[in-house]
Structure 1
Amino acid sequence: ADAIMKLLEESVYSIPGRGTVVTGRLERGKLKKGSDCEFIGHNKTIKSTVTGVEMFHQILEEAQAGDQLGALVRGVKRDDVRRGMVMCKPGSIKAQDHVEAQVYILSKEEGGRQKPFTSYIQLQMFSRTWDVATQVIIPDKEMVMPGEDTK
Structure 2
Amino acid sequence: MKHVIIGTAGHIDHGKTTLIRAITGRNTDRLKEEQERGISIELGFTYFDLPSGQRAGIIDVPGHEKFVKNMLAGVIGIDIVLLVVAADEGIMPQTLEHLHILDLLGIKKGFVVLTKSDLVDSEWIDMVEEEVREEIKGTFLEDTPIIRASSTTKMGIEKIINLIDGYAAELKDRDVDDMPRLPVDRVFSISGFGTVVTGTLLSGQLKIGDEVQVFPGDKKARIRTLQVHDQDASIAYGGQRVAANLAGLKKEDIDRGDTIAPVNSMNDTMMLDVKIKLLKDIDRYIDNRTRLRLYIGTKEVLCRVVLLDKEEIGPGDEAYAQLRLEEEVVAKRGDKFIIRFYSPMFTIGGGEILEPNPKRKKDLMTKQ
Q: Give 1:82 shift.
A: 0.9
In structure 2, what is the Cα distance between the partners aligned to 1:133 and 1:52?
Answer: 34
Which residue, 58, 67, 86 being the options, matches 2:259?
A: 86
In structure 2, what is the Cα distance between the partners aligned to 1:128 and 1:89?
Answer: 17
Do residues 104 (structure 1) and 273 (structure 2) align? no
Do residues 24 (structure 1) and 24 (structure 2) align? no
- Report the counterpart of residue 230 of structure 2 in structure 1: 57
Q: Give 1:119 shift.
A: 1.0
Q: Which letter maps to 1:29?
A: G
RMSD between superposed Cα atoms in Å = 1.4
User: 5+ residue gaps in structure 1?
Assistant: none
- Report the counterpart of residue 307 of structure 2 in structure 1: 138
The answer to which of 15-24 and 90-99 deviates more is 90-99
Q: Give 1:115 shift.
A: 2.5
- Report the counterpart of residue 286 of structure 2 in structure 1: 117
Q: Which has the higher helix share?
A: 2
Q: Which letter maps to 2:208?
A: K
Q: Which letter maps to 2:222?
A: T
In structure 2, what is the Cα distance between the partners aligned to 1:59 and 1:45?
Answer: 28
- Give CA deviations for 1:16-41 in whole Å, capped at 9, x if unaligned: 11100010111111111111000102
Q: Give 1:94 shift.
A: 1.1
Do residues 10 (structure 1) and 185 (structure 2) align? yes
Q: Which letter maps to 1:39?
A: V
- Give CA deviations for 1:104-148 in whole Å, capped at 9, x if unaligned: 2123xx2x2x23221111000112311110011111112212222
Q: Which letter maps to 1:32?
A: K
Q: Give 1:10 shift.
A: 0.9
- Give CA deviations for 1:50-108 in whole Å, capped at 9, x if unaligned: 0000112211111111110100001111111011111001011112211111222123x
- Name the SS of the counterpart of 1:79 in structure 2: helix
In structure 2, what is the Cα distance between the partners aligned to 1:28 and 1:117?
Answer: 34
In structure 2, what is the Cα distance between the partners aligned to 1:128 and 1:94?
Answer: 15
Q: Which has the higher strand share?
A: 1
In structure 2, what is the Cα distance between the partners aligned to 1:143 and 1:62?
Answer: 48
Identical-pair percentage? 26
- Name the SS of the counterpart of 1:100 in structure 2: strand
User: 5+ residue gaps in structure 2?
Assistant: 1-175, 321-368
TM-score between both structures, scaled by the size of structure 1: 0.90
- Report the counterpart of residue 38 of structure 1 in structure 2: 213
* Larger relative contact order (Cα-Cα within 8 Å, sequence gap ≥ 6): 1
In structure 2, what is the Cα distance between the partners aligned to 1:57 and 1:141?
Answer: 50
Aligned residue pairs: how many? Answer: 145
In structure 2, what is the Cα distance between the partners aligned to 1:3 and 1:142?
Answer: 39
After TM superposition, the runs of 4+ consecutive aligned structure 1 residues lying more than 3 A away are none
Q: Which letter maps to 2:264?
A: G
- Report the counterpart of residue 55 of structure 2 in structure 1: none
